Amino acid sequence: MADLNQLNGALAHCVDADTGRDYLAMKAVRELAIDAAGAVSLQIVLPYPAKSREAEIAAQVQAALGKLDGVRSVAVQVSSRIEAHTVQRGLTPLPGVKNVIAVASGKGGVGKSTTAVNLALALAAEGARVGLLDADIYGPSQPLMLGLQGQKPESPDGKSILPMRAHGIQAMSIGFLIDAEQPMVWRGPMVTQALMQLLNDTRWDDLDYLLIDLPPGTGDIQLTLSQKVPVTGAVIVTTPQDIALLDARKGLKMFEKVGVPVTGVVENMAMHICSQCGHVEAIFGEGGGGRMADEYQVELLGQLPLEMSIRLATDTGKPSVAAEPEGKVAAIYKAIARKVAVKIGEKAKDFSAKMPKIVIQNT
């Protein structure tokens, strides 16, 4: 009859494909037990969402434990528990939000907003509670991408705003509050004030992750975000093109200077695959995102093709992950999303919400 030591020994050889570590080292094994009849039961609780891989993980563990002498059956329950993780010094997580992820690029036109919305949908598809804040005050695009253009959010008390909902995520944008053709002719202080109001006055409902789709550049909004908003990590989006990489490096260095860890680089439009003949061509260059990741010792999270379906999907208000959840593009976004979540999950946990508040009163 196998005992707990033998069970643990077998589990030590079960390596998680997303983290590269075994489930014991990850401290993901819970309630491990074996009864007199040889029935084994346990839970695998992951620190990141991985709904699409739960059946695969359960089968992996069942196969490993089922080989042991005396084991008659193995019942595995796989789930995720996402915690709040540390942010910049002096800041604490937002109410209703465990982790904030900034999606940034130094240059416009590299597909950052498309990447942000698809990563948000991918995290939600993997089982997380996700929100998306469109921080581009001058040119908000998320209302169109989410199919919410022309709709207005509700305010239950005249002070706070309920987030809009689409495709299983919560969303907020200045685009919900103004006419689509109204230009925002505002100076920097007004823009940053508007961003903070959108962030703080929205009633985010128990989010595991809030993704912030930043405008291009390293200006007022980016500095406000890094100084006043508790950001758990940042994702840099670029194309392989040298001019895009030049600006993406500036964005990465900005986050480094303000103490926001960069979880990795996403290389968009990495290659074009001809829809007629299947020929693969690196229109914007090759390997630029990988070289940048190596240079700054961050991870290349994934590479996305230059594909018409991605553009068509966002233009019609149903991004690729929602339009074709089992498609190859959605699979790439989900893999990137899991890598981002794994990086976040490896950070130290934030316990500020669990600490008692000390109040001094005159009596």
**pLDDT, mean over the chain:** 89
107 annotated binding-site participant: yes
327 annotated binding-site participant: no
Q: How confident is the model at residue 45, as a pLDDT? A: 96
Q: How confident is the model at residue 283, as a pLDDT? A: 81
Q: How confident is the model at residue 107, as a pLDDT? A: 78
Whole-number Å distance between alpha carbons of 86 and 351: 8
CA-based nearest residue to 137, from 173, 100, 187: 173
| Residue 223 DSSP label | H
Whole-number Å distance between alpha carbons of 23 and 40: 16
Stretches where the chain sits below pLDDT 50 are 355, 357-359
Q: How confident is the model at residue 242, as a pLDDT? A: 83
CA-based nearest residue to 341, from 301, 303, 297, 292: 301
Cβ–Cβ < 8 Å for 97, 176 = no
Q: How confident is the model at residue 89, as a pLDDT? A: 80
Cβ–Cβ < 8 Å for 68, 7 = yes
Q: How confident is the model at residue 361, as a pLDDT? A: 56
Q: How confident is the model at residue 360, as a pLDDT? A: 57
173 annotated binding-site participant: no
Write down the H helix ranges in the chain: 4-11, 54-66, 112-125, 142-145, 188-201, 220-228, 242-257, 288-295, 308-315, 320-323, 328-345
Whole-number Å distance between alpha carbons of 258 and 89: 10
Encode pLDDT of 142-153 as tens digits. Answer: 999 999 998 999
150 annotated binding-site participant: no
Encode pLDDT of 17-69 as tens digits. Answer: 999 999 999 999 999 999 999 999 999 999 999 999 999 999 999 999 999 99
Residue with structure tokens 């921080």? 135
Cβ–Cβ < 8 Å for 318, 297 = no
70 annotated binding-site participant: no
Q: How confident is the model at residue 282, as a pLDDT? A: 82
112 annotated binding-site participant: yes
Number of H helices, E strands in the chain: 11, 13
Q: How confident is the model at residue 19, as a pLDDT? A: 92
109 annotated binding-site participant: yes
Work out the angle between the directed axes of helices 112-125 and 328-345 (0-180°, nearest 10).
Answer: 80
3-state helix, strand, coil in the chain (%, to 5): 35, 20, 45
Domains, the chain, ordered by start: 4-80 (3.30.300.130), 97-345 (3.40.50.300)
354 annotated binding-site participant: no
